[in-house]
Amino acid sequence: MSEFINYQELPDWVPGRVLLASDGLGWKNVACRSYHYEGQDVIVPSMKDFLLVGYRNGVTPMQRRYEGRWTRETLGPGAASLLTRAQRVNWNWIEPIDVTHVYLSGALVAEVASEVLDCAVTEVSLADVLRTEDPVMTLAMEQIAREAETKGLGGALYVDSVSRALVVHLLRRYADIRRPVTGTDGALTATQQRQIVEFIDTHLASGLDLKSMADALGLTPCLFARQFRSSFGKPPYAFVTAQRMARAQRLLASTDAPIKTVALDCGFSDQAHLTRMFRVAIGKTPAVFRRQAQ
């Protein structure tokens, strides 16, 4: 067994009858299952995902031990439990219950936290809560479960939107977030500057957008754009355009490649696009520049 179990392995530790599952629906970073459970006394190993439990039918006294401490509540419809990822937990209850589980990946929670805080969040811990009556949480869980049942048009996109809003709510109410130590000047480090210049040069002929460049450094797009401008004196788009123009000039001056090939090799959509940009930047067409340079 790996260090953490995934949600598909949970029935090995907590036997129950599956009532509903999102398996095979193409969802990313979020999953949903509903179970019917009889009373049990079980130990759940550390899970890879954050786990939200919504109580649908049945009422039962519930005990849970987390980090050596037992908590006790009576749980039924309208209540919810929250369990942070990577924690071993004891559960004990005596009455039959139907529950809905929503599993949120650590990557999704960290990504949303990074966007919310405009910095690269390395880790998020959610409070361990045996009972909460949180209408926002339970409504989001119901919407996700309903989508697993109805399998509607655009289901993966819909669930992604609902789950991201749910994560924002969890961050506001239940989160402990660790931020990386950063410099105080708001600029990219020398290593990051070298990395992003190399990344841009390598991918100059392909589509370069703000997100792909930010991802290369593990930053959110907003933070990356701000720190890039502070480091290079211009926004990323302007820098990329300048690099494309510089490469086009080198290729036009040193090769006999057709101008349309030069345009594509430099990341312009076509020869006309290169010509327009070249005329604005250089004051002449690529053909004239080539004749004069060679």
Q: Give me the pLDDT at residue 178, please.
A: 65
Contact (Cβ atoms closer than 8 angstroms) between residue 103 and residue 32 = yes
Residue 1's pLDDT is: 40
CB atoms within 10 A of CB 244: 22
If one counts every other C-beta atom within 10 angstroms of the C-beta of residue 144, the result is 26
Tell me the whole-structure pTM to 2 decimals.
Answer: 0.67
**Tens digit of each residue's pLDDT (9 = 90 or more) over 174-191:** 987 766 555 445 789 999
Q: Which domains does the chain have, with CATH numbers?
A: 7-178 (2.60.120.280), 185-294 (1.10.10.60)
pLDDT mean for each 10 residues of the chain (294 residues): 82 96 95 97 93 97 89 96 89 97 93 77 85 96 96 93 95 79 68 94 89 88 86 91 93 92 91 90 90 85
Q: What is the pLDDT of residue 117?
A: 76
Distance CA 124, CA 111 (A): 10
Model confidence over 64-115: pLDDT tens digits? 998 788 999 999 999 999 998 888 899 999 999 999 999 999 989 988 887 7
The pLDDT of residue 184 is 43
Q: What's the burial of 181, exposed, middle or buried (CB within 10 Å: 0-12/13-18/19+)? A: exposed
Rounded CA-CA distance 278/282 in Å is: 6
Region of 24 please: left (phi>0), alpha (psi -120 to 50) or beta.
left
Question: Of 159, 206, 197, 182, whose CA–CA distance to 27 is shortest?
Answer: 159
